[in-house]
Amino acid sequence: MNNALSRLRTLSCSAIATVVFAVYPSIALAADAIRADEDPVPRSDRCAAFPGVECRKKNLAGIRWAGKDLRQARLAGSNLRYAQLSGANLSRADLRAVDLTGADLRQTDLSYANLEDAILTGAVFDGANLSSANLRGAPRTALPGSYPDGIAKPPAEECQPESRSNTVIGASKVAPSFVGANLRAALIENANLERANFLGAVLDGALLSGAILDYADFSSARLDGAKLSGASLVCARMISVKAVNAVFARASMDRAWMKGANLRGADLSGASLRFVYGKWVVLEGGRLAGADLRAAVFSEANFRRTVFDEARMERTEDLASTDLSYSDLRGASFRRTSLLGVHLRNAQLENAVWSQGQQCAAGSIGECIPAHGSAAN
């Protein structure tokens, strides 16, 4: 008799739980999360995983939330160091000022998430969706790219293009990784992502103005229409990057490695491009007005209809002139530009506009033959 009553009570509780969880699915999700987190990190806070969860300013270091549904979760100010978040849904989550040091966010959905002022040192976002995410100002402390024990950053000479070898300092293990990630329309203005790895990432339409991206690896990445005005890309690796119509105005890009980059229609007005190695670059229809191109190598490049007006390309006491050998410069403009010592061997100059406004005649190869018999400077 007692066994029958006990069995009846168990069945009744199960039936009630089924009804409650069916009516209130978030309760079911919370219960599932609690069961999954049976071994919490010592001295850490407990926090269930379900959409919209409120866990601000909690110690969640090392928490295992891989694959969890955390849409619109409110986690601002929390410690998520080394958290396991791969495959989780954190779309529209509030992650302001969170510490994601060493966190695993591979294949995570962070679309429209707010990561403003977050610490991203060593975090892995490979394959993640960060479309329209806000990464402004990241990180607050523990700068990605900073070296432990006070080790100094390698000098710029270590990534100089003159060596013609792949010596560019690329991504570092202490910097965040965004390999293959979707960062379309992401807000990354003024963020410090030095040495970050964006290999193959998609950043079309992203806003990176003022960001620190020194030594970052953008090889094979897409930056079509991205805005990088005033950004720092010193020693950045940009091999085969596609940045059609991107804006790099006033950016610092000294010693960047841009071999094979497609920058068609891009605006690099006023940018510093000293010592850049840009063999096979395509900048057709682009702008380099007022840019500093001294000691840069752009051989065999496509500069058709590119504007070089008032650019610095001449040889000076401390810097070599620009190398434009074998490049296509047809229709390019060099108004008010000193071309003293500029390497133009076998460069195509037909219809180019020279420093004093003269147009180069057909057949101008390696030197400008004035179309109307006037001397070209």
CA distance 40 to 353: 70
The answer to whether residues 278 and 303 touch, using CB atoms and an 8 Å cutoff, is no
In SS3 terms, the chain reads as CHHHHHHHHHHHHHHHHHHHHHHCHHHHHHHHHHHHCCCCCCCCCCCCCCCCCECCCCECCCCECCCCECCCCECCCCECCCCECCCCECCCCECCCCECCCCECCCCECCCCECCCCECCCCECCCCECCCCECCCCCCCCCCCCCHHHCCCCCHHHHCHHHCCCCCCCCCCCCCECCCCECCCCECCCCECCCCECCCCECCCCECCCCECCCCECCCCECCCCECCCCECCCCECCCCECCCCECCCCECCCCECCCCECCCCECCCCECCCCECCCCECCCCECCCCECCCCECCCCECCCCECCCCECCCCCCCCCCECCCCECCCCECCCCCCCCCECCCCECCCCECCCCCEECCCCECCCCECCCCCCC
- pLDDT reported for residue 174: 84
Amino acid, res. 230 = G
Q: Which residues pair with 163 in a beta bridge?
A: none
CA distance 321 to 108: 47
Number of Cβ atoms within 10 Å of the Cβ of 57: 12
Residues with Cβ within 8 Å of residue 251, at least 6 apart in sequence? 228, 229, 230, 231, 232, 233, 268, 271, 272
Number of Cβ atoms within 10 Å of the Cβ of 233: 28
- pLDDT reported for residue 119: 95
Q: What is the token pair recorded at 256? A: 């960047």
Q: Which residues pair with 232 in a beta bridge?
A: 212, 252
- pLDDT reported for residue 373: 55
Q: Radius of gyration (Cα) for the chain, nearest Å?
A: 27
- pLDDT reported for residue 20: 37
Number of Cβ atoms within 10 Å of the Cβ of 312: 19
- pLDDT reported for residue 44: 61
The pTM of this model reads 0.82
Q: Dihedral angle at the C-alpha atoms of 42, 48, 53, 55, nearest 10 degrees?
A: -10
Q: What is the token pair recorded at 23? A: 């009516």
- pLDDT reported for residue 3: 54
Q: Which residues pair with 124 in a beta bridge?
A: 104, 177
Q: What is the chain's pLDDT, residue by residue, as a tens digit (377 residues)?
A: 555 545 545 545 444 444 333 333 333 333 433 333 444 444 567 888 999 999 999 999 999 999 999 999 999 999 999 999 999 999 999 999 999 999 999 999 999 999 999 999 999 999 999 999 999 987 644 433 333 333 233 344 457 443 333 333 344 558 999 999 999 999 999 999 999 999 999 999 999 999 999 999 999 999 999 999 999 999 999 999 999 999 999 999 999 999 999 999 999 999 999 999 999 999 999 999 999 999 999 999 999 999 999 999 999 988 999 999 999 999 999 999 999 999 999 999 999 999 888 999 999 999 999 986 554 44
